[in-house]
Amino acid sequence: MKLLDKEFRSEFDKPDDSPGFLLWQVSNMWQRKQRDALKILDLTHTQFVLLTSLSWLEKSGEPITQVQLAHLTRVDVMMTSQVLRTLEKKALIHRSPHPVDTRANQIHTTWFGQDLVAKALPLVEQVDKEFFSRLQNAGAPLISLLQQLLQQ
């Protein structure tokens, strides 16, 4: 096959045979549905993930840092920092000095942040339920396969 007089070869006959391309398409479709559901709450999906994950981490009672949150969510530390700044401007989180690590701040959800998580979580879970329901009886195996990929 030629493209601008450059020859290239793929091991796949067509794009839909590529698992990476399929995953990219499915991921974009799923993210679009999540964005649409969260739009009414003026929340991006990344903001939702970080805010909800922070809320979950806070259950431990331990001080939570931006680095810990980035590690849990697998979101780049710089991106995490930018999103947390936005969440702070929206009064959904606040920062305070870390009780042990003087170089770090601890982050907390505010009452408004907790309230928003309580509203957003059912919306996101409903999108997941509807989206993945097309995969009849694939729930547990799909989760297991995705967990395997994350362990690499």
**Across 137-144, average pLDDT:** 66
- pLDDT, tens digit, 9 for 90 and up, residues 17-67: 788 888 888 899 999 999 999 999 999 999 999 999 999 999 998 999 999
Mean pLDDT over each residue of the chain, to the nearest integer = 88
Query: What CATH architecture is 44-125?
Result: Orthogonal Bundle (1.10)
- Sketch the domain layout of the chain as residue ranges: 44-125
- pLDDT, tens digit, 9 for 90 and up, residues 81-126: 999 999 999 999 999 988 888 888 899 999 999 999 999 999 999 9
Q: Is the model's pLDDT at 142 over the cut of 70?
A: no
Six-digit token pair at 127?
């999108």
CA-only gyration radius of the chain, Å: 19
Residue 108, sorted as left (phi over 0), alpha (psi -120 to 50) or beta, turns out to be beta
